[in-house]
C-alpha cells in the first residue's frame, strides 16, 4: 500500500509541473518546471516528434530549450521525461487531440510588424477579431525661450495619427498603415504588406514595410522606403531572402542570406538601391561587427557589444565622411546612463560629446537630463520628465533646455525650448 501511495505521489509531482512557451529576441523559448526528472526532451511537429533531437537544459528546477529558427506556422509538441513518459504542457497556449485519445500542446507562431509572436489561443483570438484596427496618436508642442525677455514664443504644434489595419487571415500576414499629420491633414498610405506564409517559405508584396524577419543590420533596410516583391526561404539554420524593388521607375534588387545558431550568426546583404552595396555582419555572444561596401569600395565599419537590458556599446567609422561616432548605454536597477561622442578626422578635428542619465521612480516616472559640449565651445543641457508604463495608454515627455539629437551631434541648436510630447496608443 505504501508503495502504491508513493508511486501515485511521484506521478502527481511529475504531472503537476509548470511550463510556458514564449518568444524572446526572435527565438521561441520553452520552459518546463520539473525538479524530479533526470532528462527532458522537447518533441513536436517541428522536429518530426524526435525523442532525442532537442534536449532541454536544466537550471534551478526549470528545463529550458531555445528554438532559434522556427518560422511562422502552427506547431504541436509534448515533453518527453526520462526517455519514456510523454506530458503535455500544462500552460500551453492551446491544445489539439492526439491520435491516442489524449491531446498535444499547440501554439501558432505569427509575424506582427516583422517580429515573431505567439498568437492568442482560439478563445482569446475570437474576442480580438472584433478589433483588427489599432492606432497611434502623437502630439508635439515646442516653444522657444527668448533670451532677452525670458518668455516663451513661436509655439509650434504638430499632430499625427496612424491607423494600422491587420486582417486576421490564416497563413497570411496582412497590414495596411494609413495616417495624416498637421502638415496637410490628408490621409496617405504609410506602409502595407501582403504575405503568404508557409513553414519553409513566405512570399508577397510590400510598400515601405520591413518584411524580412531576420534583418539585423545597422544598414538602413531598403524595404522600409520602397515598394517591392519578396520571397523568403528558410531551412534549418539557413535563411535566404530575395527582394525586387521599384525605385524611380527602375528595377532594383536585394539579396539576403544568413546562417545562425543560438550563439552566433553570419549575415550578408547585397542590394542595388542608390548604389551597389554589400553589407556583411557577424554576431557572436553579444558582440557584432558590420562592414559596408558601396560600389565595391570600403564605406564604413561598425562594432559593438550588447548585454540585454544591462549594457551596450557601439562604434562606427565612416570612410566617406571621415568621422567616428561612439555610443554607450548602461542600466542598473532604477538608474540609467548614456554617452555619445562624434569626431571628425578631416575638419580641424571637430568633436562633440553628450552625456545623459536618468532615475526611474514610482514605476511610471523617469526624471533625467543631458549635457552637450563641442569643439566650438558650445555648451547645452536639458532636463526631462517621462511618464509611461505598460498599463498606461499614454506616454508623456516634458523637456526644457536644448534639444540634442544623438544621431547628429555635429549639428547643435543653441536655442532653448519647452517641449511637450505625447503618444497615445489605441
d(CA 322, CA 344): 6
Read off the DSSP letter of residue 124: H
Strand partners of residue 103: 97
H/E element holding 161? strand 152-165
Residue 15 is predicted with a pLDDT of: 35
What share of residues in the chain are helix, strand, coil (percent, to 5)? 5, 60, 35
d(CA 302, CA 292): 9
Q: Which residues lie closer than 8 Å to 384 by C-beta, 6 or more apart?
A: 358, 367, 368, 369, 370, 397, 398, 399, 400
Residue found by looking up cell 489605441 in the block:
426
Integer CA distances (angstroms), 102 to 90, 288, 337, in order? 13, 46, 53
| Phi, psi for 20 (deg, rounded to 5) | -160, 155
Ordered by where they begin, the domains of the chain are 2-117 (2.60.40.10), 200-306 (no CATH)
C-alpha cell at 1: 500500500
Residue 131 is predicted with a pLDDT of: 62
Residue 34 is predicted with a pLDDT of: 87
Residue found by looking up cell 565595391 in the block:
296
Question: Is the separation of the CB atoms in 256 and 228 below 8 Å?
Answer: no
From the list 150, 196, 160, 14, the residue with the least C-alpha distance to 88 is 14
Q: What is the pLDDT of residues 125-137, one digit of tens each?
A: 544 554 688 899 9
Residue 1 is predicted with a pLDDT of: 40
Q: What is the pLDDT of residues 335-369, one digit of tens each?
A: 999 999 999 998 788 999 999 999 999 989 999 99
Q: What is the pLDDT of residues 387-415, one digit of tens each?
A: 998 778 899 999 999 999 999 999 999 99
d(CA 172, CA 73): 10
Residue 185 is predicted with a pLDDT of: 79
- Give CA angle at 135 (129, 139), nearest 5°: 165
Residue 157 is predicted with a pLDDT of: 94
d(CA 194, CA 351): 45
Q: Which residues lie closer than 8 Å to 319 by C-beta, 6 or more apart?
A: 298, 299, 300
DSSP string, 81-107: ETTTEEE--TT-SEEEE-TTSSEEEEE
State pTM to two decimals: 0.68
From the list 116, 106, 117, the residue with the least C-alpha distance to 75 is 106
H/E element holding 5? helix 2-15
Residue 13 is predicted with a pLDDT of: 33
Residue numbers of the chain with a pLDDT score lower than 70: 1-19, 122-131
Parallel, antiparallel, or unpaired: how do β-strands 27-33 and 133-145 relate?
Answer: unpaired
Taking CB atoms within 8 Å and a gap of at least 24, the contacts of 93-99 are: 93/21, 93/118, 93/119, 93/120, 93/121, 94/121, 94/122
Residue 17 is predicted with a pLDDT of: 41
Q: How many residues does the chain have?
A: 426
Residue 122 is predicted with a pLDDT of: 56
Question: Is the separation of the CB atoms in 97 and 105 below 8 Å?
Answer: no
Amino acid at each position: 500500500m505504501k508503495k502504491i501511495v508513493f508511486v501515485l505521489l511521484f506521478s502527481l509531482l511529475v504531472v503537476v509541473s509548470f511550463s510556458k512557451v514564449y518568444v524572446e529576441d526572435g527565438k521561441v523559448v520553452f520552459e518546463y518546471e520539473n525538479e524530479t526528472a533526470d532528462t527532458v526532451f522537447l518533441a513536436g511537429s517541428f522536429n518530426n516528434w524526435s525523442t532525442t533531437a532537442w534536449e532541454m537544459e536544466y537550471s534551478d528546477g526549470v528545463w529550458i530549450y531555445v528554438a532559434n529558427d522556427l518560422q511562422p506556422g502552427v506547431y504541436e509538441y509534448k515533453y518527453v521525461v526520462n526517455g519514456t513518459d510523454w506530458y503535455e504542457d500544462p500552460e500551453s497556449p492551446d491544445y489539439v487531440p492526439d491520435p491516442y485519445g489524449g491531446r498535444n500542446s499547440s501554439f501558432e507562431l505569427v509575424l506582427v510588424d516583422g517580429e515573431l509572436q505567439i498568437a492568442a489561443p482560439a478563445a482569446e483570438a475570437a474576442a480580438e477579431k472584433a478589433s483588427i484596427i489599432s492606432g497611434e496618436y502623437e502630439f508635439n508642442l515646442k516653444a522657444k525661450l527668448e533670451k532677452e525677455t525670458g518668455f516663451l514664443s513661436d509655439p509650434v504644434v504638430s499632430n499625427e495619427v496612424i491607423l494600422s489595419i491587420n486582417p486576421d487571415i490564416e497563413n497570411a500576414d496582412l497590414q495596411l498603415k494609413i495616417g495624416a499629420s498637421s502638415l496637410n491633414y490628408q490621409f496617405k498610405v504609410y506602409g502595407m504588406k501582403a504575405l503568404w506564409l508557409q513553414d519553409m517559405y513566405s512570399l508577397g508584396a510590400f510598400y515601405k514595410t520591413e518584411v524580412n524577419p531576420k534583418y539585423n543590420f545597422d544598414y538602413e533596410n531598403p524595404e522600409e522606403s520602397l515598394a517591392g516583391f519578396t520571397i523568403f526561404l528558410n531551412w534549418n539554420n539557413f535563411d535566404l531572402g530575395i527582394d525586387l524593388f521599384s525605385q524611380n521607375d527602375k528595377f532594383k534588387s536585394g539579396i539576403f542570406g544568413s546562417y545562425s545558431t543560438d550563439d552566433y550568426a553570419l549575415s550578408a546583404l547585397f542590394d542595388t538601391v542608390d548604389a551597389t552595396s554589400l553589407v556583411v555582419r557577424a554576431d557572436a555572444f553579444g558582440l557584432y561587427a558590420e562592414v559596408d561596401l558601396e560600389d565595391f569600395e570600403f564605406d564604413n565599419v561598425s562594432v559593438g557589444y550588447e548585454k540585454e537590458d544591462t549594457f551596450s556599446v557601439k562604434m562606427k567609422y565612416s570612410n566617406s565622411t571621415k568621422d567616428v561616432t561612439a555610443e554607450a548605454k548602461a542600466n542598473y536597477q532604477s538608474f540609467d546612463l548614456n554617452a555619445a561622442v562624434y569626431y571628425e578626422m578631416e575638419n580641424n578635428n571637430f568633436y562633440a560629446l553628450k552625456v545623459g542619465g536618468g532615475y526611474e521612480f514610482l514605476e511610471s516616472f523617469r526624471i533625467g537630463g543631458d549635457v552637450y559640449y563641442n569643439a566650438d565651445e558650445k555648451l547645452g543641457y536639458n532636463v526631462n520628465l517621462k511618464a509611461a508604463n505598460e498599463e498606461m495608454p499614454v506616454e508623456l515627455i516634458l523637456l526644457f533646455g536644448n534639444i540634442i539629437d544623438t544621431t547628429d551631434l555635429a549639428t547643435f541648436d543653441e536655442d532653448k525650448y519647452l517641449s511637450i510630447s505625447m503618444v497615445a496608443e489605441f
